[in-house]
Amino acid sequence: MKIYKFLFPFFKKRILLFFSFFFSTLIFSALNGISVGMLFPFLRVIFFKEPPPKGSFFLDKIFHFIGKYLLEDGANMKVLLKMGIIILIVFFLKALFEYLSKILNVILQESILKDIRDLLFSKIVYLPISSLSNKKTGEIASRFTHDILYIKHALSDGWFLIVRDFLLIVSYLFIIFWASPHLSIFSLIFLPFIVFLIKKIGDSLKRKAKRFQIEMGKIGSFIVEKIIGIKIIKAFTQEEKEIENFKKRTYEYFKKILKFENLRHLSPSLTEFIVSCVAILIFIYGGKLIFIDKKLMPEKFLVFIAGALSVLQHFKTTANAWGNIQQGIAGITRIKEILDEKEEEKGGIHIIKKIERGIKFEDVSFSYDGKRFVLKDINFEVKPFEKVALVGKTGAGKSTIVNLICGFYFPQKGKIFFDDKEIRELNIKELRKKIAIVPQEVFLFSGTLYENIIYGNNNASYEDVWKAIEDAALLDFVK
């Protein structure tokens, strides 16, 4: 239920678009039912040369009118010509509303996916560094690639397909109930068992889908890590070892997705087999109604069979769609794990314009994992215009102090002051605008050198950029 609550706001935002899709699908489904039902007047006219009996039900009246219209001139070729025109009109309208249904489906689906991508990225950039550092890059990237793709399939080949199939099944059920209430009630006795079977298989698919999606995330992280560290791999001649490690991971993914696909493809086949068994019983019972009880016309039995076979086909696609939905639910669950995380602290309301007295660390202790302290009871003060170098061995906490000054992390104990304001009282975003930082890792965003230089200040002039290049001793390199 939480999954549907997650999707509901996206649909609510596009309620008009959704109802347009629903309406076009409803008309398309009704026309499919009508096209099956029209077998009755056509067969009646061709084989008995008379219109269907005029009953009290509105379908009987419509089919009686069609039969009379076809037999007005009496000539066989004219009857066939009129049939051709009616079929052409019905199938043209079917094609038109099917197109509208599909294109509205695509617009609705892609706009929802766009919003989910935007929401996910917005969440990630506002997550605290502590949260992101505990996640592998490939696993985060897999949310945008594989998990979004699974949601796309869940929408296009899952939820939307089920909406269409549900409307089509209702349309065909309406026709087969009209053709023979006795046979229809007999058929529906088996419906709860089929629905129960689809649900049980679906629950198992959801569990298996989450497992292989986690494995794909691990593979993505592995690939990113090894590409970044390819020089190390080559320097220590570990190519064969890493290939073997990768093969082990892909084999784990292979085993898990094989279990999922085995069950996903078994579901529609098993559903089709069970419904086929029911169809045999329907044939036998239908024969009894025609030949022994004389309660069913043969042409109506043919309409019933055509409608029942259509219902069978759409029950099969519904079972397949349910498997796609379980993949999508697993994907949404993984995305929600990130969306439900707490965003980084924004600090207080105070905005520091200029440091007058300096930065002060007072009994500061900090641990990344809550167990081993990187900094313990640190005290120091930096006055304005002082140049301070932090010297120490690897892991001594030099980078950690810079991270704390930038507000990437907050100390578990002690306080950091900017003048007389503790760092938690300051607006962290505004504080970072006052800090210039050159990270240890060299990193350039994709784009031009100019775009990278002005990244922190989009208002920088062309002259400012050249001055920055000169100050960084990059003038000869750039030229």
**210: pLDDT strictly greater than 80:** no
CB atoms within 10 A of CB 237: 8
474 confidence band (pLDDT: 50, 70, 90): confident
Spatial distance between the Cα atoms of 472 and 469, rounded to a whole number of angstroms: 5
C-alpha 187 chain-centroid distance: 35
86-90, long-range: CB within 8 Å, 24+ apart, which pairs? Answer: 86/38, 87/35, 87/38, 90/31, 90/34, 90/35, 90/38
63-93 per-residue burial string, b: 16 or more CB within 10 A, e: under 16: bbebbeebbeeeeeeebeebbeebeeeeeeb
Give the pair of three-digit tokens for residue 13: 């935002």
Residue type for position 120: L
Mean per-residue pLDDT for 82-103?
A: 92
**1: pLDDT strictly greater than 60:** no
Give Cα separations from 207 to 7, 194, 263, 340 (angstroms). Answer: 20, 21, 12, 21
DSSP class per residue in 82-117: HHHHHHHHHHHHHHHHHHHHHHHHHHHHHHHHHHHH
**203: pLDDT strictly greater than 90:** no
204 confidence band (pLDDT: 50, 70, 90): confident
Kindly state the percentage of the chain with pLDDT values over 70.
Answer: 98
**413 backbone dihedrals φ, ψ, rounded to 5°:** -145, 145
CB atoms within 10 A of CB 337: 11
160 vs 235: which has the higher pLDDT: 160
Mean per-residue pLDDT for 18-37?
A: 93
Spatial distance between the Cα atoms of 361 and 364, rounded to a whole number of angstroms: 6
CA dihedral of 10, 12, 13, 14, whole degrees rounded to 10: 100
CB atoms within 10 A of CB 415: 14
- With beta carbons less than 8 A apart as the criterion, state whether 208 and 329 touch: no
Strand partners, 380: 361
Give pLDDT tens digits for 104-136.
Answer: 999 999 999 999 999 999 988 888 887 777 777
- With beta carbons less than 8 A apart as the criterion, state whether 265 and 319 touch: no
Among 427, 351, 361, residue whose Cα is nearest residue 400: 361
Give pLDDT tens digits for 173-187.
Answer: 899 888 888 888 887
Its pTM stands at 0.74
165 vs 203: which has the higher pLDDT: 165
Give pLDDT tens digits for 276-285.
Answer: 787 788 888 8
29 confidence band (pLDDT: 50, 70, 90): very high
Q: Over 315-353, what HEC string results?
A: HHHHHHHHHHHHHHHHHHHHHHHHHCCCCCCCECCECCC
Kindly state the percentage of the chain with pLDDT values over 90.
Answer: 18
**3: pLDDT strictly greater than 80:** no
Give pLDDT tens digits for 371-380.
Answer: 888 999 999 9
Q: What is the pLDDT of residue 112?
A: 92
Q: What is the pLDDT of residue 226?
A: 82
Give pLDDT tens digits for 314-332.
Answer: 877 877 787 778 778 888 8
462 confidence band (pLDDT: 50, 70, 90): confident
Q: What is the pLDDT of residue 415?
A: 93
Most confident listed range (42-56, 260-274, 292-306, 446-460): 292-306
Task: Tell me if residue 240 falls in helix, strand or coil.
Answer: helix
Give pLDDT tens digits for 338-352.
Answer: 888 888 888 788 888
Spatial distance between the Cα atoms of 216 and 143, rounded to a whole number of angstroms: 10
First to last CA, the chain: 60
How deeply is 303 buried, as exposed, middle or buried, from its count of CB atoms within 10 A (0-12, 13-18, 19+)?
Answer: buried
Q: What is the pLDDT of residue 471?
A: 82
Give pLDDT tens digits for 423-456.
Answer: 999 998 888 888 888 777 777 777 787 888 787 7
**263: pLDDT strictly greater than 60:** yes
74 vs 25: which has the higher pLDDT: 25
Give the pair of three-digit tokens for residue 434: 């006052």
Q: What is the pLDDT of residue 103?
A: 94
Spatial distance between the Cα atoms of 176 and 37, rounded to a whole number of angstroms: 8
Q: What is the pLDDT of residue 257?
A: 84
389-394, long-range: CB within 8 Å, 24+ apart, which pairs? Answer: none
Q: What is the pLDDT of residue 2?
A: 58
DSSP class per residue in 22-42: HHHHHHHHHHHHHHHHTHHHH
Q: What is the pLDDT of residue 293?
A: 84
- With beta carbons less than 8 A apart as the criterion, state whether 213 and 147 touch: yes
73 confidence band (pLDDT: 50, 70, 90): confident
Spatial distance between the Cα atoms of 137 and 225, rounded to a whole number of angstroms: 8
Q: What is the pLDDT of residue 111?
A: 93
Strand partners, 421: 418
Mean per-residue pLDDT for 250-255?
A: 88
